[in-house]
């Protein structure tokens, strides 16, 4: 987005940043405190909880800012940490001491605004261990700033003198780029740089990156788009994934909302806005075609960049996805949880086509 366009859009209510072989099955359910799959050590839990499903840097009473909880290999990870992530985690039945690490997809405030609270509250409670923050280049500088902001509190202490350890000792950073891969116990993480920060013109020597992430536990996987526009790299990352958690944008309603609240907006400004949103976010048809081409087994929409209540956009979102994608489809809500389970091949049945919840 150009600076001129950004200034022109100030005040618009909606502004986006917006044993034997086994095969996986995906089950959706309301959130209960997550736990490892009991009585089946051969199939440890692989579970995704959408802690916050709003999209864009706009606070709303209906949905929390973008944040997710991944349970895998007996551990818990935050995936993005928008404002209120610590509270949403508590509502999901966990405290911050349970979190092994935090993955940040990109450096927009709707995805990072709650990270300071996660780091600070965890340090204040003196939970043992080090919290590792994984994110694109620039994550170290962001975390260093958060730690620096905690230093006045460290000097104050807790009324009992100096804290047991300084804030910097409670956190570590590992920066990721497109093409990165890491293994955390039994959990494998693959990374793709997506198109959310793409822009016309000369490419910078070290441009900022927005990341999409694929989490694999054995043969099972969950892929998270983060914020992205159409992207061959994301489509490749999502190939044959059991569950794709994807952002989505209702472009028509957003444009209509802008026109309603900004009748003075010039045609040029509106054209620029539509180009920006189309290139840097996914319309329902984009999500559907990508999911179908990639062979995604279950599609979960989140990061709802829609004006007003989701119910007003739900039909449009589903219809756009259904132009191409025929598999199970969910429109996530805050604190919804999705399991990627295991079953024997002999019991396996493909998901019912067109299933929606």
- Per-residue pLDDT of 160-177, as tens digits, reads 666 678 999 999 999 999
In this prediction, residue 3 has a pLDDT band, given cuts at 50, 70 and 90, of very low
In this prediction, residue 357 has a pLDDT band, given cuts at 50, 70 and 90, of low
Q: Which range among 52-66, 151-165, 170-184 shows the weakest confidence by mean pLDDT?
A: 151-165
What's the rounded mean pLDDT across residues 14-30?
40
What's the rounded mean pLDDT across residues 200-207?
73
pLDDT value for 36: 39
- Per-residue pLDDT of 268-301, as tens digits, reads 888 888 888 877 999 999 999 999 999 999 999 9
Q: Which range among 28-37, 59-68, 115-124, 233-242 shows the weakest confidence by mean pLDDT?
A: 28-37
Strand partners of residue 75: 72
Would the pLDDT of 138 be above 80? yes
Q: Which range among 2-6, 135-139, 190-194, 211-215 shows the weakest confidence by mean pLDDT?
A: 2-6
pLDDT value for 161: 62
Measure the CA–CA gap between 278 and 171, rounded to whole angstroms: 37
Query: In CATH, which of 3.40.50.2000, 3.30.70.590, 3.60.15.10, 2.30.40.10 is domain 3-7+24-197+210-343?
Result: 3.60.15.10
Would the pLDDT of 124 be above 60? yes
Would the pLDDT of 312 be above 60? yes
Q: Which range among 103-112, 162-171, 348-357 shows the weakest confidence by mean pLDDT?
A: 348-357
% of the chain exceeding 90 in pLDDT: 62
What's the rounded mean pLDDT across residues 200-229?
90
60 vs 9: which has the higher pLDDT: 60
What's the rounded mean pLDDT across residues 316-324?
97
Would the pLDDT of 146 be above 60? yes
Domain boundaries, the chain: 3-7+24-197+210-343
Q: What would the 3-class secondary structure string for the chain be?
A: CCHHHHHHCCCCCCCCCCCCCEEEEEEEEECCCCCCCCCCCCCCCEEEEEEECECCCCCCCCCCCCEEEEEECCEEEEEEECCCHHHHHHHCCCCHHHEEEEECCCCCHHHHCCHHHHHHHHHHCCCCCCEEEEECCCHHHHHHHHHHHHHHHHHHCCCCCCCCCCHHHHEEEEECCCCCEEEECCEEEEEEECCCCCCCCCCCCCCCCCEEEEEEECCEEEEECCCCCCCHHHHHHCCCCCEEEEEEECHHHHHHHHHHHCCCCCHHHHHHHHHHHHHHCCCHHHHHHHHHHHCCCCEEEEEEECCCCCHHHHHHHHHHHHCCCCCCEEECCCCEEEEEEEEEHHHCCCCCCCCEC
pLDDT value for 202: 66
pLDDT value for 10: 34
pLDDT value for 56: 87
250 vs 290: which has the higher pLDDT: 290
208 vs 118: which has the higher pLDDT: 118
Would the pLDDT of 322 be above 50? yes
Measure the CA–CA gap between 129 and 212, rounded to whole angstroms: 27
**How high does pLDDT run on average in the chain?**
85
């Amino acid at each position: 987005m150009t600076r001129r366009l950004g200034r022109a859009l100030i005040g618009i209510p909606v502004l986006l940043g917006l044993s034997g072989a086994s095969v996986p099955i995906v089950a959706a359910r309301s959130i209960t405190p997550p736990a490892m799959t009991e009585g089946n050590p051969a199939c440890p839990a692989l579970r995704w909880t959408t802690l916050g499903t709003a999209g864009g840097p706009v606070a709303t009473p209906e949905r929390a800012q973008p944040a997710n909880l991944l349970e895998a290999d007996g551990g818990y990870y935050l995936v993005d940490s928008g404002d209120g992530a610590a509270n949403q985690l508590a509502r999901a039945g966990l405290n911050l001491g349970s979190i092994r690490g935090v993955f940040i997809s990109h450096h927009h405030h709707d995805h990072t605004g709650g990270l300071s609270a996660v780091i600070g509250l965890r340090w204040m409670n003196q939970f043992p261990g080090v919290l590792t923050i994984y994110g694109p280049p620039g994550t170290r500088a962001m975390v260093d700033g958060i730690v620096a902001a905690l230093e006045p509190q460290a000097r104050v202490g807790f009324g009992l003198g100096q804290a047991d350890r300084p804030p910097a000792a409670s956190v570590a950073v590992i920066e990721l780029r497109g093409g990165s891969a890491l293994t955390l116990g039994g959990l494998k993480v693959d990374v793709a740089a997506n198109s959310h920060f793409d822009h016309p013109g000369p490419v910078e020597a070290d441009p900022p990156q927005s990341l999409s992430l694929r989490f694999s536990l054995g043969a099972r996987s969950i892929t998270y788009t983060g914020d992205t526009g159409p992207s061959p790299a994301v489509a490749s990352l999502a190939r044959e994934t059991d569950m794709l958690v994807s952002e989505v944008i209702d472009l028509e309603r957003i444009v209509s909302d802008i026109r309603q609240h900004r009748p003075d907006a010039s045609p040029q400004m509106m054209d620029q806005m539509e180009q920006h949103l189309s290139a840097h976010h996914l319309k329902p048809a984009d999500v559907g075609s990508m999911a179908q081409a990639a062979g995604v087994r279950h599609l979960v929409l989140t990061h709802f960049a829609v004006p007003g209540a989701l119910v007003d956009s739900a039909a449009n979102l589903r219809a756009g996805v259904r132009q191409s994608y025929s598999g199970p489809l969910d429109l996530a809500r805050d604190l919804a949880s999705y399991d990627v389970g295991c079953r024997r091949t002999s019991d396996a049945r493909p998901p019912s086509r067109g299933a929606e919840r």
